[in-house]
Structure 1
């Protein structure tokens, strides 16, 4: 984006680094100076490229997916891009890999850090998605610092990022200055959150509280939230569109780009105020990778490069209402996006190393007490 650089101070157990660091341990066992997938002299750019992603990338009002398909096929006229929408996200492919079943996909678009952890906690370490040779992806060098997703096996590149925050109605409650404030009487029966086992923002908010309260203190914090009347719904759709937008509560866990959406539809901005408790927001980059058993490897690499191109980054950012992954100089977005998309003073995330071996236990312990409350 022009006029603003979306790089926050990275605190806690934060991700760091640049996309160019994405190689496996580099023991020299692969070709191309230790990188996987050396670039062929005559790449095969014909055939059907199957891209797995989430539903809102393809369906709904003005999603990015149809544009990506049309523009990619225009750039590669001998190729056809086919979307596939796994019902349970990356878990569907983990199950298929365990059963040695056909994956029916070449590229996965929409991987979070926790998806990589889930793969490695379930399958062989570094499995399912292949190590990327970023030398084959020219646009990878334009990815902003801080969006390396921390994968030690170099399987993914970020294509956008969002920040989890609180959205609140200033006519009803004041801006909470800290996470601890949410347990106080001023916010009794105010907060809507999501199931951390079913929802990306719900899990991000849980991890944010773990970063703040510690592994030994986060359940006590959530008990205080529960005593103060937090309501936990199954997913973001239910909590935001189903409850918050209907005025049932004055605060919801959501995204810091909420005002972009509110401005587009002419909503009352007083009901779409952005809060960054502790001057923080939880960074949630989305990544893309290529399956180990991809049948259209060359086209898959071309798609990853295409997704980081100027036009594709602008379309993904504006239609997904997320921030671009590449440096601002390469992306020309609407002035309204620049005005209404907010970045926290400090971006926090719990990184791969801390999630590995812990994520499942943390969410299960949380769900045992709080899911569905």
Structure 2
């Protein structure tokens, strides 16, 4: 899904989105159970954007006797690299946040041991990573172009409808994208353009975008909060790479979303959880996977992480039904194809766009 941390109650809707997608450190500590005995400590390794309702986690800890030690490790790409480099001496028991652009690499490297949670039948199986039970889908986050609808109305310019419009002269200097080499949503958008234009045409498309004044930032946070005109940062550019869920964070006082996701440009990112091979407490790790797939945890992922739950029996927040419905036909390249081409594509992109 990318370019996704702890949400404070006083944050505005946009800053909640920033906190959820950009991340800040939140690490659990040791505790005693109700009988005064030390709880089992299970280490969950995740990305910086992991966010949750503390009461839901506390209820799980109380019911399971597990002290969930949460350790955050960069974005999805950095997390994957850390898990691969430490696979012979794993840095945790269970991992969450390896997404569909990196999952095949982690699986092929033997990072995870197979575990099929009974809860996957409630919807997660729709997003299965190939024919393996090494990981289980936990959430879905579609990366799409977002536009500031008010900006286009005020400037009397027809909003773009999809990829091809961005290279038109009337949209010169209006688009900002995160660097695919350093950003998960940036990489997802690059993959979306490859799927859209094909191997023979994507490079020319990016050359045209470059010539039409596309701006590149290091990450999603900078692009969305500093350059995008539709966020609280009120930047100068009304077109940004973000998420299909982002408009839910931009609801105006009139109850209407101020931004819109262009659903024809979406690329599907799925985030997975799995038991780490060689885990100190594999049984506890399996319980954590079950918890991440439970209705209790799934019911709060939209509010806290601005992603879509995988369970079919969990409803989205009411505001999402209008502002951020789950895209029905997002693009996605086969995981093996992404794994084989990712490094070459990114290097070629850097040569074209950054020189």
TM-score bin, normalised by smaller chain: 0.7 to 0.9
Displacement of 1:270: 6.3
Map 1:240-319 onto structure 2 (within 5 A). 240-244=224-228, 245=231, 246-263=234-251, 266=253, 271-276=258-263, 279-319=264-304
Displacement of 1:296: 0.9
Alignment partner of 1:92 out of 82, 85, 89? 82
Cα distance, 1:117–1:296 mapped onto 2, change above 3 Å: same
Displacement of 1:345: 4.3
Supply the distance in 1 between the matched residues of 2:39 and 2:287 (Cα, whole angstroms).
11
Q: Quick check: 1:169–1:270 contact (8 Å CA) kept in 2?
A: no
Flag structure 1 segments of 5+ consecutive residues without an equivalent.
1-44, 58-62
Displacement of 1:333: 4.0
Q: Number of matched residues? A: 306
Supply the distance in 1 between the matched residues of 2:104 and 2:308 (Cα, whole angstroms).
23
Q: Quick check: 1:126–1:153 contact (8 Å CA) kept in 2?
A: no
Cα distance, 1:249–1:280 mapped onto 2, change above 3 Å: closer
Q: Quick check: 2:178–2:241 contact (8 Å CA) kept in 1?
A: yes
Alignment partner of 1:234 out of 218, 235, 241? 218
* Aligned equivalent of 1:354: 337
Q: Quick check: 1:160–1:317 contact (8 Å CA) kept in 2?
A: no
CA RMSD of aligned residues (A): 2.3
TM-score calculated relative to the size of structure 1: 0.76
- Does residue 54 of the first structure (1) align with residue 34 of the second (2)? no
- Does residue 76 of the first structure (1) align with residue 64 of the second (2)? yes
Map 1:1-373 onto structure 2 (within 5 A). 47-57=40-50, 63-64=51-52, 66-77=54-65, 79-87=66-74, 88-97=78-87, 100=88, 102-119=89-106, 125-132=108-115, 134=116, 137-143=117-123, 146-150=126-130, 152-173=131-152, 174-244=158-228, 245=231, 246-263=234-251, 266=253, 271-276=258-263, 279-327=264-312, 330-371=313-354
Cα distance, 1:266–1:301 mapped onto 2, change above 3 Å: farther
Give deviations 1:319-341, integer Å, cap 9, x for gaps. Answer: 111111011xx214432233322
Cα distance, 1:308–1:198 mapped onto 2, change above 3 Å: same
Higher relative contact order by CA 8 Å / sep ≥ 6: 1 or 2? Answer: 1
Cα distance, 1:127–1:267 mapped onto 2, change above 3 Å: farther
Cα distance, 1:145–1:175 mapped onto 2, change above 3 Å: farther
Flag structure 2 segments of 5+ consecutive residues without an equivalent.
1-37, 153-157
Q: Quick check: 1:53–1:108 contact (8 Å CA) kept in 2?
A: yes
Give deviations 1:6-41, integer Å, cap 9, x for gaps. Answer: xxxxxxxxxxxxxxxxxxxxxxxxxxxxxxxxxxxx
Supply the distance in 2 between the matched residues of 1:67 and 1:195 (Cα, whole angstroms).
36
Supply the distance in 2 between the matched residues of 1:119 and 1:144 (Cα, whole angstroms).
19
